[in-house]
């Protein structure tokens, strides 16, 4: 599977990924939510700056940490232990202070010729798809939520 990750434009997440000061992305919620337990080492990540509709960067998953039912002190420790890779602002630390966390480390970041994203309704900020062409203008298919369901 490949993953399309929306990057927060206000926090300059994509810029940090490109300049190498961010080598891990985080997603969290009160309960398990995509991409928790659904992203694996060796898979491809595509990044898109929120609001641009341009898929412009890709990387390879180097490692994944999935955490559930975390206590307050465990959340703080995980965020602190990974801060050198996550490069989170204080605002982001508050946002991702959740009981279920998925941390995805990546490598081999490379900018690509921008692909035009075909936005469809009800899409989340992390999409799991068969191939990137499935969400690119001209080759897109209706988004299949089966890939985002927990089994």
Question: In the 3-class helix/strand/coil scheme, how is the chain assigned residue by residue?
Answer: CEEEEEECCCCCHHHHHHHCCCCEEEEEECCCCCCCCCCCCCCEEEEEECCCCEEEEEEEEEEEEEECCCCHHHHHHHHHHCHHHHCCCHHHHHHCCCCEEEEEEEEEEEEEEEEEECCCCCCCCEEEECCHHHHECCCCCCCCHHHHCCC
pLDDT-derived band at 148, boundaries 50, 70, 90: low
59 contacts 109 by C-beta, under 8 angstroms? yes
Long-range contacts of 135-138 (CB under 8 A, 24+ apart): 135/4, 135/55, 136/55
**pLDDT per position as a tens digit, 107-139:** 999 999 999 988 776 667 899 989 998 888 888
Q: Mean of the per-residue pLDDT values for the chain? A: 91
pLDDT above 70 coverage of the chain, percent: 92
**pLDDT per position as a tens digit, 22-65:** 999 999 999 888 899 999 999 999 999 988 889 999 999 999 99
Q: What is the pLDDT of residue 124?
A: 79
Q: Please name each of the domains of the chain with its CATH number.
A: 2-148 (2.30.130.30)
What is d(CA 140, CA 146) in angstroms, rounded to the nearest whole number?
16
């Amino acid at each position: 599977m490949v993953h399309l990750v929306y990057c927060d434009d206000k926090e300059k997440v994509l810029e940090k990924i490109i300049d190498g000061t961010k080598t891990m992305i985080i997603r969290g919620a009160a309960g398990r939510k995509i991409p928790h337990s659904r992203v694996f080492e060796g898979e491809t990540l595509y990044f898109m700056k929120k609001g641009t509709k341009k898929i412009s960067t890709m990387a390879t998953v180097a490692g994944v940490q999935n955490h559930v039912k975390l206590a307050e002190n465990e959340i703080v420790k995980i965020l602190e232990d990974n801060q050198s890779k996550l490069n989170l602002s204080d605002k982001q630390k508050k946002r991702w202070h959740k009981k279920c966390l998925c941390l995805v480390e990546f490598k081999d970041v490379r900018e690509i010729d921008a692909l035009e994203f075909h936005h469809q309704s009800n899409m989340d900020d992390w999409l799991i798809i068969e191939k990137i062409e499935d969400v690119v203008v001209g080759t897109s298919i209706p988004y299949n939520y089966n890939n985002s369901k927990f089994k």
